[in-house]
Structure 1
């Protein structure tokens, strides 16, 4: 099997020749720039570039040598954009490492070591304090209340850090030939690599409301102002469907996976009662999933952190086929239970190694033992793509990263 066949077999619940592996195909399955730089140094790789393609989370784009070293089976279409040296410039991370940022992202270093990031009109929308490794959103366009109409929602979105500073390819979306280029570059990746292809489309509903209104307000609004919430969600769905129409037309026959994102859980439980999710959010998610399935061959991956056990049946009914990151540290997210109850209906893209206390704190041998157990539970019958639980963070030692991927090779056949 080649990599693409391996990924697709597992999604179709067939056991491939070995477990398919991901590193960096999405912004929730990658590696921080600090950890990546340290990994390259440990492997004595002194060539190439450490390029931060996800500037909000400070994540590096894995290079071909790393992808080959760990037998990675899937990549993001966005890596075909911003490929020239002129598209990047050097900057220092919080630990002193020199990496490269995309030229369109120019945060301002303030007195005291804080970096501030501004929107096109000069509004401060994100900040990263000295020593931090992540940009925090600080501006919420609708914090004072919902607008009478949403004529200017695009302007509001441009003041949300996640939308103002997106990962590739979306920073190029306003270029007149973007959609033609997207198809052209995706086809080139497909022809020049046997890895499966992912395109990230977001399509968030709850998260978009949180970003616009601020999380505390929006969660209360769901109960106190449901009409306003639904009015906003309808506008968001219209916006998302317009984008999905273009994506399906451009790469719906080329990309293998489209990734949606909506964090629905805390460590303890879903962010709302399941009956509320079914009433307000599920029908709108279903509309988007139906559109993708009708107009493309892409499989739908949903990223959602936290305890989402109670929502999984509804997400499956809505049309989600793949879940990431499988946060096993959250309540009710025991993988034995998840595999038993949902293993025939969904693919688990993650859950391979706990990033909260194992990958960052255990010994390499303990990491290998942990990964072996996860594989023994998740791999039978297919429906499993190996990935750690969310991104590899800056505190993860390179020895543990290598131990994790070596364990997959050792125990996946």
Structure 2
């Protein structure tokens, strides 16, 4: 079967030859995989050798180059200065002064026209036969907290509801309109809408379920409905201990949930499967914090099979690590072992009982 058929099969309850596999990582991590496999390039390593089933094509930023500083920090199109490894962390909060809805409304948010949403013919040719993930990552929770400062954000959720609701709405509207444009400019092309906002820590949620339902749930439902109206399946990424939100993620219509951090509090994979396995596809769950990072290839293979047997018990599973962005510190040999074992193991126990 084609990668596209396989990649959509768990969500659409179709027969498949093995569980589909998804990869996300830092460019340097990918370089390490290419070198370890002796491949000529990323495409050969990920798709010809490892047999990954999804290709991601996001809108491309084509606006003015970001302003950079001598210390390596830079300003994004959100007006936030960032520093540190990879995409870095926000070191300025340009709306920290905001005291009114007008302050929020007057802020210069990113311009949708600074993004090119059209998927090129070359990209289409290279993605032929694969499930295309499109639209935007839509991290509107993170943008809102970085603009105003996380501590003030959480305080003002209670003390200044209109300011926070307006801020969250402005951040969400940018991604909604950009994703809408992506579907409009690429009709029938995008197979999966996969968005991400980290609402959990290793121990608990960052905010109460009640506050999440108040500020985020209606907006997330809106963008999920947009994707479904364009015949795309949907997946959500949220790190950490998010078990209390999973019923809501199911309720808004998500087809799959990622990354399933199995070593976070209250995220035991067997319990998650027992409680939610009929209602959503699990996407991830192969531990990155210890197994992929520190253990042997043999141990990685054992854990890969264990997770497939648990989260794939009903045939609704996508093979991936428990983090969406594998860093270069994760040994390439362990990432390769995970995907190699997943291919060999196929449908695991599900294949033997179905």
Q: Which range, TM-score by smaller chain? A: 0.7 to 0.9
CA separation of 1:13 and 1:223: change in aligned 2, threshold 3 A: farther
Deviation at 1:311, TM superposition (A): 0.7
Could you say which residue in structure 1 is the equivalent of 2:97? 144
- Listed one character per residue, the Cα deviations across residues 137-157 of structure 1 (whole Å, up to 9, x for unaligned) are 21222112245155544x344
Deviation at 1:13, TM superposition (A): 3.0
- For the residue of structure 2 that corresponds to 1:358, the secondary structure is helix
Could you say which residue in structure 2 is the equivalent of 1:39? 33
> How many angstroms apart in 1 are the aligned matches of 2:30 and 2:98?
41
Please say if 1:220 is aligned against 2:155.
Answer: yes
The TM-score, its normalising length taken from structure 2, stands at 0.87
CA contact (8 A) 1:186 1:255 kept: no
> How many angstroms apart in 1 are the aligned matches of 2:80 and 2:248?
38
> How many angstroms apart in 1 are the aligned matches of 2:125 and 2:37?
29
CA contact (8 A) 1:141 1:156 kept: no
> How many angstroms apart in 2 are the aligned matches of 1:142 and 1:124?
10
CA separation of 1:410 and 1:260: change in aligned 2, threshold 3 A: same
Could you say which residue in structure 2 is the equivalent of 1:388? 321
> How many angstroms apart in 1 are the aligned matches of 2:77 and 2:234?
33
- Which structure 2 residues correspond to residues 327-346 of structure 1 after superposition, within 5 A? 327-346=261-280
Deviation at 1:236, TM superposition (A): 3.4
Could you say which residue in structure 1 is the equivalent of 2:350? none
CA separation of 1:69 and 1:106: change in aligned 2, threshold 3 A: farther
Aligned alpha-carbon RMSD (Å): 2.8
Could you say which residue in structure 2 is the equivalent of 1:182? 119
CA separation of 1:142 and 1:39: change in aligned 2, threshold 3 A: same
Please say if 1:404 is aligned against 2:338.
Answer: yes
Q: Which moved more, 1:366-375 or 1:252-261?
A: 252-261
Could you say which residue in structure 2 is the equivalent of 1:17? 17
Could you say which residue in structure 1 is the equivalent of 2:352? none
Greater helix proportion = 2
> How many angstroms apart in 2 are the aligned matches of 1:292 and 1:214?
30
CA separation of 1:240 and 1:127: change in aligned 2, threshold 3 A: closer
- Listed one character per residue, the Cα deviations across residues 218-244 of structure 1 (whole Å, up to 9, x for unaligned) are 122112222221122333344333223
- For the residue of structure 1 that corresponds to 2:239, the secondary structure is coil
- Listed one character per residue, the Cα deviations across residues 82-108 of structure 1 (whole Å, up to 9, x for unaligned) are 9xxxx9xxxxxxxxxxxxxxx956855
Deviation at 1:133, TM superposition (A): 4.7
CA contact (8 A) 2:95 2:148 kept: yes
Aligned residues: 344
> How many angstroms apart in 1 are the aligned matches of 2:199 and 2:33?
32
Could you say which residue in structure 2 is the equivalent of 1:359? 292
CA contact (8 A) 1:13 1:344 kept: no
> How many angstroms apart in 2 are the aligned matches of 1:74 and 1:239?
25
> How many angstroms apart in 2 are the aligned matches of 1:374 and 1:252?
36
Could you say which residue in structure 2 is the equivalent of 1:317? 251
Match of 1:194 among 115, 129, 139: 129
Where do 5+ consecutive residues of structure 1 fail to align? 24-29, 49-61, 88-102, 159-169
CA separation of 1:244 and 1:41: change in aligned 2, threshold 3 A: closer
Match of 1:272 among 179, 183, 207: 207
- For the residue of structure 2 that corresponds to 1:271, the secondary structure is coil
- Listed one character per residue, the Cα deviations across residues 313-356 of structure 1 (whole Å, up to 9, x for unaligned) are 112111222111111111111111111211121111211x2111
> How many angstroms apart in 1 are the aligned matches of 2:289 and 2:319?
17
CA separation of 1:251 and 1:337: change in aligned 2, threshold 3 A: farther
- For the residue of structure 1 that corresponds to 2:74, the secondary structure is strand
Match of 1:117 among 43, 55, 74: 74
Could you say which residue in structure 2 is the equivalent of 1:2? 2
CA separation of 1:106 and 1:207: change in aligned 2, threshold 3 A: closer
CA contact (8 A) 1:378 1:384 kept: yes
> How many angstroms apart in 2 are the aligned matches of 1:330 and 1:63?
33
CA separation of 1:300 and 1:120: change in aligned 2, threshold 3 A: closer
CA separation of 1:356 and 1:255: change in aligned 2, threshold 3 A: same
Where do 5+ consecutive residues of structure 2 fail to align? 348-354
- For the residue of structure 2 that corresponds to 1:182, the secondary structure is coil
